[in-house]
Structure 1
């Protein structure tokens, strides 16, 4: 029997960036440029398979079936199979057959870049986070999708209903266009934060910490009670811990480092890694390491994609009592504790990121992973149909529920109040729902997969698969934390992008290396000025000036 989808191996051909740029530029000559008077695609001539009068809250079903190439990141513990109901059901409903090119999770970003640079990328490139598109704009490899969102009614509807238009504006490049569409989140809460042993913090640590100073006090008390422990851990090579902690110190770090530039309070941009707030953050965590309160092994352990690794074992064995994680990590820790401490003898809680010198603030999180489109789609006869399909897939509420839970009344039920219940013969083991059931809707059927499921979510959908404690977490963040304002936009022009990349990469490497060295104690914090001088010798001021020039230009053009 024929496969339900065609699994295309990644091609290793390298035609070179120059060749790709020429080809992509030719394709982009057809792309719409509605804002600058350029030549527009005749969308009516490229509407094979499209629906007439496609509108928000409408099921997309192609008027003619077509195949859509998609890049698929494969997690080591979630291998894709050609028997997944995910593919067959979406094809059944939409007449769109996904032809996937797989890349491994371990080096997905590098493999994705190689495919785009070689001109071999599939049409749809999912699992893209804001900022990751920047390096592909000047080459012409990806589509300026903002020119076509008028054909995506679901996207437009939820940008308006969830009040995200201001955030969307921040996606714009120097040409006034944006080149990726993010997943939209109805509520702005950090995905990763601290997961703690609530019972231990309450009985030993003095309560749930609201600030990093309170966290230190609690860790000291827990260390005294459990002397073999190093009570705080990360598990994601420090990238997660520094990401959510940095905001409280008025800095950016870890996963949230971005281009390194942040608001200096005056509307200008400064380099975060030389700011006073960044130094305070480094000194804070250096102090925890020095006092045996922070598990240094968890700052160097590679993230294997499972969300905890050996940290879960330490959590289970009462060697760690607070660690970086998401709602899924909290479930993983609870499952591990069931085997050691015993069910009912502990409480695990995901808490709002602690505040600090910069206040009770957290990262803005109304965007999650989205997608880019290969620029060559502008030449496809299925161009409009592809836009409509992706608009349905990423932003239609019924599609989002389908991708998370599977088929209504087959894998799950939904009552009059909207409460979703997974049928007893099915499990969702990643979230500890109906453990032990014969069929896991994720591993066996492909629902709740890591490529599409976490992208766009209403609050109700997010809460439908999480625990009651996660609902408490959402409430606590919304009630007690203020998302930081996004940094002022400073979109770069083509030549500036190339120059910025050449400058930023070695500077960032120096930052990453020395941030960890300072925290681990391998470099004395007294050498901070020497570290700053090293960055300056690598062209830091030139980089800062370049970004601020773009910032001034944007401000002048949009005043």
Structure 2
């Protein structure tokens, strides 16, 4: 492994949802400077290092050694080490040497996009979510990956076996091609939901609430028993809770707001805040604040991690009993309670998002982060070999297991029934596995870092999950219904610029008013006035633009 460093030429906190609308528009315009041919690569001549007979579920080994350059986001608490075993193991298996270009976590998305638009990105661009390829389509800065799927047998196999074909069709851009390939998930459940102090809900409220209305009644009972508490919190600027709650109200909000469009009653897309479901969502959380059940501070605290840490402390002091979080958050809350209440004297766990007026809906089944390829690779003699290597790295089950756990019989063992266990002397502290045992396979060896997160079978996901997390997956899959995928409406270059300029003031107005209404700082009687403010900000023109793109895309894909 060799590395290079990018100087920090942009400052600022990295948004959870990635590129801001203004930066999105800037990239869309600046990316026009690079250009590339629309002709597909002739893989029959650019095949040096490619493997004969490469097939799904087989080990890729390059016929000749070659290098692949990759962007790597540096997490502050997981600095890359030259001694990391992960890169050495990849080279042993594949004959491929990965070289890294580093990006600091603080503004990785912005720097990544500027590198791409300037034509300076390395070959492999990971940590890309669906839709983030849009600004680079017209310039040819990234490779149209859908042109080469026929050379990716692992990808094809698991898209079909896991029932993801329609979802893959929806990631195509306005020209009908896909420029990123996502991480595939055999099962998809909401990562964030409610983390509850289950023992308290059982003892005080008589059970685990299934609906938002039941949650409210349970919180009232807990508030009566623990009068100094504010029993419900978010810790992520409200963005997490509003996101997973919105689906049960038939709308979308928070982190999942996206372009703000949902299916309207007339068969056209409608702006979510103008729907009755959005108003019901706001009124529900407004009532929680009014009754002292929702921690107002946790709805305004920074989402850089400090807000969640504050909620963890409140859990430990029994001032909070329910909060937004993931399976990892549940572990953190439990560890904090071990120090105050005592180990074994509490039960903390993730529960399915509550049901609501729109039923048992949860977020649509989704992908995880994947990758793009810089168009510079189209001139490489190793083009086909690179495609094969990435198909193995991102979608081969053995590769996925290696990225998560390391080397079988060196760092972990695997029983006949598929159960995986770390060997003596190895730990994975992030998941509270053999904590403090010695060598952390993530911090010290590079396994279970972000490349391991992308594609996962259900068995692999469960291999590092606690029994409570596995139960959460089962509960969601058996009691909740994923919403239909949001209809695709990919925009062309000119529309990207227009929509960004229109979307920003609209979203700012929505964020401001939503918080004001929930906190009680604005009378709910002013809801119609709020809708009028959106109209004055150009709402109809924005909705018409997105609906036009949706109609055009439907005609393109036929």
Q: Same fold (TM over 0.5)?
A: yes
Cα deviation, 1:133-153, whole Å, max 9, x if unaligned, reads 223323332221111111111
**SS of 1:46's equivalent?**
coil
Cα deviation, 1:62-94, whole Å, max 9, x if unaligned, reads 222222221222222222222211122112222
Which position in structure 1 is the counterpart of 2:113?
113
Which position in structure 2 is the counterpart of 1:476?
475
Q: 1:5–1:87: 8 Å Cα contact kept in structure 2?
A: no
**Cα deviation, residue 306, structure 1:** 8.8
Which position in structure 1 is the counterpart of 2:41?
41
Q: 1:136 to 1:519 in 2, by over 3 A?
A: farther
Which position in structure 1 is the counterpart of 2:436?
436
Which position in structure 2 is the counterpart of 1:348?
348
**Cα deviation, residue 120, structure 1:** 2.3
CA distance in 2, matches of 1:265, 1:472: 36
Match of 2:32 among 21, 32, 47: 21
Which position in structure 2 is the counterpart of 1:35?
none
CA distance in 1, matches of 2:29, 2:254: 32
**Cα deviation, residue 10, structure 1:** 4.4
Q: 1:306 to 1:7 in 2, by over 3 A?
A: farther
Cα deviation, 1:239-293, whole Å, max 9, x if unaligned, reads 2111111101111111211111111244321111221111111111111122221
How many residues are matched?
Answer: 544
CA distance in 1, matches of 2:49, 2:267: 47
**Cα deviation, residue 377, structure 1:** 2.0
**SS of 1:92's equivalent?**
helix
Cα deviation, 1:189-242, whole Å, max 9, x if unaligned, reads 111111111101111123111111111111111111111211111122222111
**SS of 2:45's equivalent?**
helix
1:456 and 2:467 are equivalent in the alignment: no
Q: 2:250–2:277: 8 Å Cα contact kept in structure 1?
A: yes
**Cα deviation, residue 173, structure 1:** 1.4
**Cα deviation, residue 514, structure 1:** 2.2
TM-score by length of 1: 0.93
CA distance in 1, matches of 2:421, 2:139: 47
Q: 1:10–1:101: 8 Å Cα contact kept in structure 2?
A: no
CA distance in 2, matches of 1:309, 1:209: 25
CA distance in 2, matches of 1:352, 1:228: 27
**Cα deviation, residue 541, structure 1:** 0.4
TM-score by length of 2: 0.93
Q: 1:102 to 1:512 in 2, by over 3 A?
A: farther
Q: 1:63 to 1:481 in 2, by over 3 A?
A: same
**Cα deviation, residue 530, structure 1:** 2.1
CA distance in 2, matches of 1:45, 1:542: 49
Cα deviation, 1:15-55, whole Å, max 9, x if unaligned, reads 997674232x2x2x1x4xxxxxxx32111222222212211
Q: 1:268–1:551: 8 Å Cα contact kept in structure 2?
A: no
263-272 or 280-289: bigger deviation: 263-272
Alignment of 1:61-460 (within 5 A): 61-304=61-304, 308-449=308-449, 451-460=450-459
**Cα deviation, residue 60, structure 1:** 1.4
**SS of 1:44's equivalent?**
coil
Q: 1:426–1:439: 8 Å Cα contact kept in structure 2?
A: yes
Q: 2:5–2:103: 8 Å Cα contact kept in structure 1?
A: no
Stretches of structure 2 that go unaligned for 5 or more consecutive residues are: 11-25
Q: 1:354 to 1:18 in 2, by over 3 A?
A: closer
